[in-house]
Amino acid sequence: MKKIDWFQLVNTVFIFLFALMCTLPILLVLIVSFSDEQSILQNGYSFFPDRFSLEAYRSVFASNEQLLQSYAVSIGVTLIGTLAAVTITGMAGYTLANRQVRYRNPIALFFFITMLFNAGLVPWYMMNDLLGFKNNLLALIIPTLIFSPFNLFLVRNFMQELPDALLESARMDGASDAYIAFRIVFPLSMPVLATVALFYGLGYWNNWFNAIMLVDKESLYPLQYLLYKMQSEINMINQMQGVAISNTLAPTESFKMAVAIITIGPIVLLYPFLQRFIIKGLVIGAVKG
Amino acid sequence: MGRAKPERTKRYTIFTDIRKNPVSYLLVLPAMLYTFIFGYMTLPYMVIAFQRFNYAKGIFDSEWVGFKNFEFFFQSTAATMVTWNTIKLNLLSIAFGTVVALLFAILLNEVRSHVFKRVSQSTLLFPHFLSWIIVSYIVYSLFATEHGLINNLLQTFGFDPHNWYSDPKPWTWILVALSVWKETGMSAVIYLAAITAIDDSLYEAAKIDGASRWQQIKSITLPMLMPTVSILTLLAIGKIFYSDFGMIYAIIGDNGMLYSTTDVIDTYTFRTLRTSGNPSIAMAIGMYQSVVGFVLVLTANWAVKKFNRDSAIF
């Protein structure tokens, strides 16, 4: 018995240490955002600042129109994008899972090929240029994220597992394809649709690639891109001037970290749901391959 | 469904199918349209790798230059550097990522307390949900020359602070550590799912034979996990020519001092397109990546098939 206790103890300590490593860096950002600017300048980033201050958050909320604007862009893009993406994916999943459709496998192959071979960045950019997805909200919503074959196959696999007898009896009762899709299959597929929604939602919330490629109007900056801009401008100033004379120009250290924390905020709030669903989704995906 | 009678031998084509299932075809249409535009219609643009592309003239009238753009890239010193960096960063991340995730999946599986298991699993998974931009802020707060935590600690213990953002050497390992840090929780969950699928009777039999915890892990859990591990590893190796652009660009950005160890094919292509504004050379590099990448994916899949028929993706 004693031996097993040792194993458990070491095991627990090990996991605890790694969990700590996963949290401490984020905690550092949080603490810095609540630190007094002077104590950061004197002592650097620290888990134990001399003084705490709410100044950073006050200035974030008081003065920064750009930030509010970006927040609005991020929320809007995430909501609209996720809704559109889930709808498209769910509908296509229904067709690929529908045994009445004889050509469903060639159609699946049509989607699958794009997962294997990708023309790359340049054609992607030119296509968006051609379609006019530049400097508008669509540039943040449609390219790269509105639909992913991986999620489609996840949805299809789930829908295929629904009991055949159920759909068969609905058909016998004269239910149309549309009725079966919208009244029977979609409601029953809520778990997988929610999982996919979270994948898409997280993708939209964390996306800044579309912004860096296709957007240079400040009013369209999503939050992540605003954060990126803030940091890269500071780096540029630092590289040019060498030392920290730039403190008057650049946003303060605590201000930056406050914005980072505000960007993580919604994820933390949704985390319990996110995590549960995504684990479920992953397990579905992993078992089915 | 009755078999078609000989006198009505109208061929069953896709049009017959569409007429029979109009709603289904309507439902799949948006996704197909999207895939057609962003997946298939982009392919013709690849020809600009063989042109001196001119935005004003477009894809049909630009001047053809044969393999010049490829020559230009392969003769530059950057070609070997970015290729090597891409492969090196990927191999290290795959190796360390797999070992660490496997370790924690097994450790988590051995945890008795439900509460501790749930809480620690949630904690390990959390970094996965952060964007690389946020991670770059974390990296900055740790490594910044002026105020960074690590330099603070170095100074506290009497060492000289280090100018991290101008020394390329440690960044290979910093980037590998970050990708392990961010993705361990996710991979561990996948492995944990595979462990849960192992037949319980194996463990019971082992226990009756007096096998210790450690012996059970060594002789049951690990061998039973090997198929999943090999498949995921092979698939990752298939993607070795691609890197996480978001990660590298968020953390390194345009810091030229770190390129020698951190510049990868994706970031190099990006800069060729955006900063030097030469889409043809960028396309040539992208094509090199796509073609080698495609061959690698096919090879990896072939290897998976050899190894375990059911697990191949196609």
B207-216 pLDDT tens trace: 999 888 888 9
pLDDT value at residue B171: 95
CA distance B7 to chain A (A): 22
Q: Which chain A residues are Cβ-neighbours of B24 within 8 angstroms?
A: 94-95, 98, 100-101, 177, 181
Q: Quick check: is B6 in a domain?
A: no
Distance of CA B56 to CAs A48, A151, A214, B61, B63, Å? Answer: 58, 38, 19, 9, 12
pLDDT value at residue A288: 44
Q: Is the pLDDT of residue A242 over 60?
A: no
Q: Where are the alpha helices (DSSP H) in chain B?
A: 14-20, 22-35, 58-61, 68-75, 77-110, 114-125, 132-143, 149-156, 171-196, 200-208, 213-216, 222-238, 245-251, 259-262, 265-274, 279-307
CA distance B311 to chain A (A): 7
Q: Which residue of B has its CA nearest to A108?
A: B32
Count structural domains, chain B. 1
CA distance B255 to chain A (A): 8
What number is the average pLDDT over the span A62-75? Answer: 86
pLDDT value at residue A245: 47
Q: Quick check: is B219 in a domain?
A: yes
Q: Is the pLDDT of residue A65 over 50?
A: yes
Q: Is the pLDDT of residue A63 over 70?
A: no
pLDDT value at residue B93: 96
Q: What is the CATH number of the domain that holds B94?
A: 1.10.3720.10
Distance CA B216, CA B198 (A): 12
Task: Please give the model's pTM, rounded to 2 decimal places.
Answer: 0.89
For chain A, what percent of residues have pLDDT higher than 90?
48
pLDDT value at residue B313: 61
Q: Which residue of A has its CA nearest to B28?
A: A92
A161-180 pLDDT tens trace: 888 888 889 989 988 889 99
Going by the DSSP 8-state scheme, the letter that residue A52 receives in this structure is B
pLDDT value at residue A121: 92
Distance CA A267, CA A131 (A): 32
- Do A122 and B283 count as a contact with CB atoms less than 8 A apart? yes
What number is the average pLDDT over the span B2-26? Answer: 78
Q: In whole numbers, what is the pLDDT of chain B averaged over residues?
A: 89
Identify the domain containing residue B193 by its residue range.
71-311
Phi and psi at B35, nearest 5°, equal -65, -35
pLDDT value at residue B137: 93
Q: Which chain B residues are Cβ-neighbours of A40 within 8 angstroms?
A: 147
- Do A92 and B104 count as a contact with CB atoms less than 8 A apart? no
What number is the average pLDDT over the span B29-51? Answer: 94
Of the candidates A284, A261, A174, A270, which has an alpha carbon nearest to the alpha carbon of residue B133? Answer: A261
pLDDT value at residue B314: 62
CA distance A62 to chain B (A): 23
Chain mean position to CA B93: 10
- Do B214 and A25 count as a contact with CB atoms less than 8 A apart? no
- For every residue of A64-119, DSSP letters joined together read -HHHHHHHHHHHHHHHHHHHHHHHHHHHHHHHHH-TT-TTHHHHHHHHHHHHH---
Going by pLDDT thresholds of 50, 70 and 90, the confidence category of residue A247 is: very low
pLDDT value at residue B84: 96
- Do A227 and B21 count as a contact with CB atoms less than 8 A apart? no
Going by pLDDT thresholds of 50, 70 and 90, the confidence category of residue A59 is: confident
pLDDT value at residue B11: 83
pLDDT value at residue A44: 83
B144-176 pLDDT tens trace: 888 889 998 998 898 998 999 989 999 999 999
- Do A147 and B35 count as a contact with CB atoms less than 8 A apart? yes
Least confident of A73-87, B3-17, B55-69: B3-17
Q: Quick check: is B285 in a domain?
A: yes
Q: Is the pLDDT of residue B301 over 50?
A: yes
Question: Among A111, A119, A177, whose Cβ lies nearest the Cβ of B24?
Answer: A177
- Do A23 and B126 count as a contact with CB atoms less than 8 A apart? yes
What number is the average pLDDT over the span B179-200? Answer: 90
Distance CA A42, CA B185 (A): 36
Going by pLDDT thresholds of 50, 70 and 90, the confidence category of residue A276 is: confident
Q: In whole numbers, what is the pLDDT of chain A averaged over residues?
A: 86
- Domain-wise residue ranges, chain A: 9-278
B49-60 pLDDT tens trace: 999 998 888 888
Q: Quick check: is B46 in a domain?
A: no
Going by the DSSP 8-state scheme, the letter that residue B44 receives in this structure is G
Interface test with A, best of B12, B16, B19, B38 (most A CBs within 10 A): B38
Q: Which residue has the higher pLDDT, A63 or B14?
A: B14
pLDDT value at residue A251: 66
Q: Is the pLDDT of residue B88 over 80?
A: yes
Q: Quick check: is B264 in a domain?
A: yes
Q: Is the pLDDT of residue A142 over 90?
A: yes
Q: ipTM of this model? A: 0.88
Q: Quick check: is B115 in a domain?
A: yes
Q: Please give the class, per CATH, of domain A9-278.
A: mainly alpha
pLDDT value at residue A285: 55
Least confident of A61-70, A149-158, A190-199, B213-222: A61-70
What number is the average pLDDT over the span B175-204? Answer: 91
Q: Is the pLDDT of residue B7 over 80?
A: no
Q: Which residue has the higher pLDDT, B313 or A97?
A: A97
For B222, the token pair is 């690990």
Q: Which chain B residues are Cβ-neighbours of A225 within 8 angstroms?
A: 133
Distance CA B60, CA B254 (A): 33
